[in-house]
Amino acid sequence: MCDSITLYGVKKVYDSRNGPVHAIGPADLSIRKGEFVSFLGPSGCGKSTLVLMVAGLLPPTEGEIRIDGVVVNEPRTDVGIVFQTPVLVDWRSVLGNVLLQVELRGLDPAQYRAHAVELLESVGLGEFLKQRPYELSGGMQQRTAFCRALLHDPPIVLMDEPLGALDAMTRTRLRDDLEKLWLGSPKSVLFVTHDISEAVQLSDRVVVITPRPGRVEREITVDLPHPRDFDVRQSPEFLGYVKDISDIFMQYGVI
Protein backbone atom coordinates (compact mmCIF):
# COMPACT_ATOMS: atom_id res chain seq x y z
CA MET A 1 0.00 0.00 0.00
CA CYS A 2 1.43 3.43 -0.85
CA ASP A 3 1.61 6.44 1.42
CA SER A 4 -1.16 8.96 1.40
CA ILE A 5 0.22 11.63 3.73
CA THR A 6 3.93 12.04 4.47
CA LEU A 7 5.61 14.48 6.84
CA TYR A 8 9.30 15.19 6.35
CA GLY A 9 10.89 17.03 9.28
CA VAL A 10 7.77 19.14 9.80
CA LYS A 11 8.14 21.81 12.45
CA LYS A 12 6.04 24.81 13.45
CA VAL A 13 7.26 27.79 15.44
CA TYR A 14 4.70 30.56 15.91
CA ASP A 15 5.65 34.18 16.33
CA SER A 16 3.81 35.54 19.32
CA ARG A 17 3.91 38.71 21.40
CA ASN A 18 5.94 36.80 23.99
CA GLY A 19 8.44 35.57 21.43
CA PRO A 20 8.60 32.40 19.36
CA VAL A 21 6.45 29.43 20.42
CA HIS A 22 7.78 26.08 19.27
CA ALA A 23 4.50 24.18 18.86
CA ILE A 24 5.47 20.91 17.19
CA GLY A 25 8.21 19.01 15.44
CA PRO A 26 10.39 18.23 13.74
CA ALA A 27 8.15 15.27 12.91
CA ASP A 28 8.58 12.53 10.31
CA LEU A 29 5.65 10.32 9.62
CA SER A 30 3.63 8.51 6.97
CA ILE A 31 -0.02 7.57 6.78
CA ARG A 32 -0.81 4.83 4.28
CA LYS A 33 -3.83 4.82 1.99
CA GLY A 34 -6.89 3.73 3.91
CA GLU A 35 -5.08 3.80 7.26
CA PHE A 36 -6.67 5.29 10.39
CA VAL A 37 -3.98 7.03 12.41
CA SER A 38 -4.54 8.88 15.69
CA PHE A 39 -2.35 11.66 16.96
CA LEU A 40 -2.63 11.37 20.69
CA GLY A 41 -1.12 14.01 22.89
CA PRO A 42 -1.78 16.43 25.76
CA SER A 43 -3.30 19.89 25.36
CA GLY A 44 -0.99 22.34 23.62
CA CYS A 45 1.34 19.77 22.03
CA GLY A 46 0.57 21.04 18.53
CA LYS A 47 -2.16 18.64 17.34
CA SER A 48 -4.41 21.30 15.83
CA THR A 49 -1.35 22.98 14.36
CA LEU A 50 -0.51 19.74 12.61
CA VAL A 51 -4.03 19.32 11.20
CA LEU A 52 -3.97 22.88 9.84
CA MET A 53 -0.61 22.26 8.19
CA VAL A 54 -1.74 18.99 6.56
CA ALA A 55 -4.88 20.75 5.30
CA GLY A 56 -2.68 23.41 3.73
CA LEU A 57 -4.19 26.14 5.91
CA LEU A 58 -0.93 26.91 7.76
CA PRO A 59 2.60 26.73 6.38
CA PRO A 60 5.21 24.73 8.32
CA THR A 61 8.23 26.69 9.55
CA GLU A 62 10.48 23.85 8.41
CA GLY A 63 10.03 20.64 6.50
CA GLU A 64 7.53 19.46 3.97
CA ILE A 65 4.18 17.69 3.85
CA ARG A 66 3.20 15.65 0.81
CA ILE A 67 -0.17 14.21 -0.08
CA ASP A 68 0.04 11.49 -2.70
CA GLY A 69 3.56 12.74 -3.42
CA VAL A 70 2.52 16.35 -4.05
CA VAL A 71 3.83 19.07 -1.73
CA VAL A 72 1.08 20.78 0.27
CA ASN A 73 1.52 24.53 -0.21
CA GLU A 74 -2.07 25.74 -0.47
CA PRO A 75 -5.44 24.74 1.01
CA ARG A 76 -6.40 21.24 -0.12
CA THR A 77 -9.90 20.91 -1.47
CA ASP A 78 -9.80 17.12 -1.71
CA VAL A 79 -9.76 16.45 2.02
CA GLY A 80 -12.67 16.25 4.44
CA ILE A 81 -12.25 18.08 7.74
CA VAL A 82 -14.15 17.70 10.99
CA PHE A 83 -13.48 20.13 13.83
CA GLN A 84 -14.23 19.94 17.53
CA THR A 85 -17.48 21.84 17.07
CA PRO A 86 -19.82 20.96 14.21
CA VAL A 87 -19.84 24.40 12.48
CA LEU A 88 -23.31 24.02 10.93
CA VAL A 89 -25.41 26.85 9.53
CA ASP A 90 -28.72 27.35 11.33
CA TRP A 91 -30.59 28.61 8.28
CA ARG A 92 -30.28 25.26 6.51
CA SER A 93 -31.77 21.85 7.24
CA VAL A 94 -29.62 18.91 8.31
CA LEU A 95 -29.65 17.60 4.74
CA GLY A 96 -28.95 21.11 3.43
CA ASN A 97 -25.92 21.39 5.69
CA VAL A 98 -24.50 18.13 4.40
CA LEU A 99 -25.13 19.16 0.78
CA LEU A 100 -23.31 22.44 1.40
CA GLN A 101 -20.11 20.44 0.98
CA VAL A 102 -20.76 19.85 -2.74
CA GLU A 103 -22.50 23.17 -3.41
CA LEU A 104 -19.43 25.08 -2.22
CA ARG A 105 -17.39 23.00 -4.64
CA GLY A 106 -19.66 23.96 -7.53
CA LEU A 107 -21.00 20.41 -7.86
CA ASP A 108 -24.65 19.54 -8.56
CA PRO A 109 -26.34 18.82 -5.18
CA ALA A 110 -29.05 16.74 -6.88
CA GLN A 111 -26.41 14.17 -7.80
CA TYR A 112 -25.32 13.82 -4.18
CA ARG A 113 -28.71 13.92 -2.48
CA ALA A 114 -29.21 10.14 -2.32
CA HIS A 115 -25.72 9.61 -0.90
CA ALA A 116 -26.25 12.37 1.68
CA VAL A 117 -29.48 10.71 2.82
CA GLU A 118 -27.76 7.34 2.95
CA LEU A 119 -24.94 8.71 5.12
CA LEU A 120 -27.36 10.44 7.47
CA GLU A 121 -29.47 7.28 7.75
CA SER A 122 -26.36 5.24 8.56
CA VAL A 123 -25.77 7.38 11.67
CA GLY A 124 -29.42 7.34 12.76
CA LEU A 125 -30.46 10.73 11.41
CA GLY A 126 -32.83 9.50 8.70
CA GLU A 127 -35.82 11.07 10.45
CA PHE A 128 -34.14 14.41 10.97
CA LEU A 129 -33.29 15.41 7.41
CA LYS A 130 -35.54 18.47 7.47
CA GLN A 131 -34.76 19.64 10.99
CA ARG A 132 -32.56 22.66 11.61
CA PRO A 133 -29.26 22.16 13.49
CA TYR A 134 -30.54 24.02 16.58
CA GLU A 135 -33.27 21.39 16.88
CA LEU A 136 -30.65 18.65 17.31
CA SER A 137 -28.54 17.50 20.25
CA GLY A 138 -24.78 18.14 20.21
CA GLY A 139 -24.09 14.53 19.24
CA MET A 140 -26.57 14.67 16.37
CA GLN A 141 -24.99 17.89 15.15
CA GLN A 142 -21.56 16.31 15.15
CA ARG A 143 -22.90 13.26 13.25
CA THR A 144 -24.19 15.72 10.66
CA ALA A 145 -20.69 17.22 10.45
CA PHE A 146 -19.21 13.73 9.84
CA CYS A 147 -21.63 13.17 6.98
CA ARG A 148 -20.78 16.57 5.50
CA ALA A 149 -17.06 15.78 5.62
CA LEU A 150 -17.58 12.44 3.87
CA LEU A 151 -20.16 13.40 1.23
CA HIS A 152 -17.73 14.05 -1.62
CA ASP A 153 -15.95 10.79 -0.80
CA PRO A 154 -12.59 12.41 -0.01
CA PRO A 155 -9.64 9.99 0.06
CA ILE A 156 -8.32 11.82 3.14
CA VAL A 157 -10.19 12.93 6.25
CA LEU A 158 -8.70 15.12 8.97
CA MET A 159 -10.45 15.16 12.33
CA ASP A 160 -9.43 17.51 15.12
CA GLU A 161 -10.93 16.20 18.37
CA PRO A 162 -14.33 15.70 16.73
CA LEU A 163 -15.77 14.11 19.88
CA GLY A 164 -14.11 16.50 22.33
CA ALA A 165 -17.13 18.67 23.08
CA LEU A 166 -19.50 15.78 23.82
CA ASP A 167 -20.52 14.09 27.05
CA ALA A 168 -19.04 10.65 27.79
CA MET A 169 -22.09 8.60 26.77
CA THR A 170 -22.60 10.41 23.48
CA ARG A 171 -18.91 10.14 22.82
CA THR A 172 -19.04 6.36 23.14
CA ARG A 173 -21.94 6.17 20.68
CA LEU A 174 -20.23 8.44 18.19
CA ARG A 175 -17.01 6.48 18.31
CA ASP A 176 -18.99 3.47 17.15
CA ASP A 177 -20.63 5.56 14.42
CA LEU A 178 -17.25 6.80 13.26
CA GLU A 179 -15.83 3.30 13.19
CA LYS A 180 -18.85 2.12 11.19
CA LEU A 181 -18.54 4.97 8.69
CA TRP A 182 -14.83 4.26 8.23
CA LEU A 183 -15.34 0.50 7.86
CA GLY A 184 -18.04 1.19 5.24
CA SER A 185 -15.66 3.29 3.17
CA PRO A 186 -12.06 3.23 4.39
CA LYS A 187 -10.19 6.51 3.99
CA SER A 188 -6.83 7.74 5.13
CA VAL A 189 -7.73 9.35 8.43
CA LEU A 190 -5.63 11.64 10.61
CA PHE A 191 -7.55 11.74 13.86
CA VAL A 192 -6.51 14.01 16.70
CA THR A 193 -7.46 13.24 20.27
CA HIS A 194 -6.24 13.35 23.85
CA ASP A 195 -8.40 10.36 24.80
CA ILE A 196 -6.34 7.18 25.03
CA SER A 197 -9.10 4.56 24.74
CA GLU A 198 -10.71 6.51 21.89
CA ALA A 199 -7.42 6.35 19.98
CA VAL A 200 -7.02 2.63 20.66
CA GLN A 201 -10.61 1.85 19.62
CA LEU A 202 -10.47 3.66 16.32
CA SER A 203 -6.91 3.42 15.08
CA ASP A 204 -4.75 1.14 13.01
CA ARG A 205 -1.86 3.08 14.51
CA VAL A 206 -1.56 5.48 17.42
CA VAL A 207 1.13 8.16 17.22
CA VAL A 208 1.94 9.27 20.76
CA ILE A 209 2.99 12.93 20.89
CA THR A 210 5.00 14.43 23.77
CA PRO A 211 4.00 17.63 25.59
CA ARG A 212 4.94 20.83 23.70
CA PRO A 213 6.97 21.05 21.62
CA GLY A 214 5.20 17.98 20.29
CA ARG A 215 7.45 15.19 19.07
CA VAL A 216 6.61 11.68 18.01
CA GLU A 217 7.36 9.67 21.14
CA ARG A 218 6.14 6.30 19.88
CA GLU A 219 4.08 4.73 17.12
CA ILE A 220 1.91 1.85 18.25
CA THR A 221 0.17 -0.47 15.80
CA VAL A 222 -3.16 -1.60 17.23
CA ASP A 223 -3.59 -5.18 16.16
CA LEU A 224 -7.20 -5.86 17.15
CA PRO A 225 -10.23 -6.87 15.06
CA HIS A 226 -12.84 -4.33 13.93
CA PRO A 227 -15.45 -3.45 14.92
CA ARG A 228 -13.97 -2.89 18.35
CA ASP A 229 -17.23 -3.44 20.14
CA PHE A 230 -17.87 -3.64 23.87
CA ASP A 231 -16.34 -7.13 24.16
CA VAL A 232 -13.15 -6.13 22.32
CA ARG A 233 -12.90 -3.02 24.48
CA GLN A 234 -13.01 -5.18 27.61
CA SER A 235 -10.37 -7.62 26.33
CA PRO A 236 -6.96 -7.85 28.03
CA GLU A 237 -5.32 -6.94 24.71
CA PHE A 238 -7.29 -3.69 24.36
CA LEU A 239 -6.69 -2.76 27.98
CA GLY A 240 -3.00 -3.61 27.51
CA TYR A 241 -2.69 -1.00 24.76
CA VAL A 242 -4.44 1.57 26.95
CA LYS A 243 -2.09 0.81 29.83
CA ASP A 244 1.08 0.98 27.69
CA ILE A 245 0.08 4.40 26.38
CA SER A 246 -0.99 5.61 29.82
CA ASP A 247 2.44 4.63 31.14
CA ILE A 248 4.10 6.90 28.57
CA PHE A 249 2.00 9.89 29.65
CA MET A 250 2.60 9.07 33.32
CA GLN A 251 6.35 9.31 32.64
CA TYR A 252 5.79 12.80 31.25
CA GLY A 253 3.68 13.74 34.25
CA VAL A 254 0.69 14.46 32.01
CA ILE A 255 -1.59 12.03 33.85
Between residues 123 and 145, which has the closer beta carbon with respect to Mg ion?
145
- String marking each residue 92-131 x if it binds ligand ATP according to CB under 6 A: ----------------------------------------
Q: Which residues contact 7 (CB under 8 A, 6 or more apart)?
A: 27, 28, 29, 30, 54, 63, 64, 65
- Selected from 115, 212, 226, 233, the binder of ligand ATP by CB under 6 A is 212
CA 184 to chain centre: 16
* Closest residue to Mg ion in the complex (CB): 48
**Residues contacting ligand ATP: total by CB under 6 A:** 14
Longest dimension (CA), the chain: 54
**Residue 194: contacted member of Mg ion, ligand ATP, none (CB under 5 to 8 Å, by partner type):** ligand ATP
Neighbours of 242 (CB within 10 A): 15
Judge contact between 75 and 57, C-beta under 8 A.
yes
Residues 146-175 that bind ligand ATP (CB under 6 A): none
User: Residues in the site for Mg ion, rule: CB under 5 A?
Assistant: 48
Question: Rounded CA gap, 99 and 96, in Å?
Answer: 5
Judge contact between 42 and 211, C-beta under 8 A.
yes
CA angle 243, 248, 249 (to 5 degrees): 95
- String marking each residue 47-76 x if it binds ligand ATP according to CB under 6 A: xxx---------------------------
- Asked if residue 18 binds ligand ATP (CB under 6 A), the reply is no
Between residues 20 and 240, which has the closer beta carbon with respect to ligand ATP?
20
Is residue 224 classed as helix, strand or coil in its secondary structure? Answer: coil
- Selected from 3, 8, 21, 179, the binder of ligand ATP by CB under 6 A is 21
Between residues 43 and 235, which has the closer beta carbon with respect to ligand ATP?
43
Between residues 239 and 255, which has the closer beta carbon with respect to ligand ATP?
255
**Residue 101: contacted member of Mg ion, ligand ATP, none (CB under 5 to 8 Å, by partner type):** none
- Asked if residue 43 binds ligand ATP (CB under 6 A), the reply is yes
- Selected from 16, 69, 70, 230, the binder of ligand ATP by CB under 6 A is 16
- Selected from 76, 187, 194, 228, the binder of ligand ATP by CB under 6 A is 194
Q: 106 burial class (0-12, 13-18, 19+ CB within 10 angstroms)?
A: exposed
Judge contact between 102 and 109, C-beta under 8 A.
yes
Q: 244 burial class (0-12, 13-18, 19+ CB within 10 angstroms)?
A: middle
Q: Which amino acid is at 252?
A: Y
Judge contact between 27 and 207, C-beta under 8 A.
no
Binding residues for ligand ATP, per CB under 6 A? 14, 16, 21, 23, 41, 43-49, 194, 212
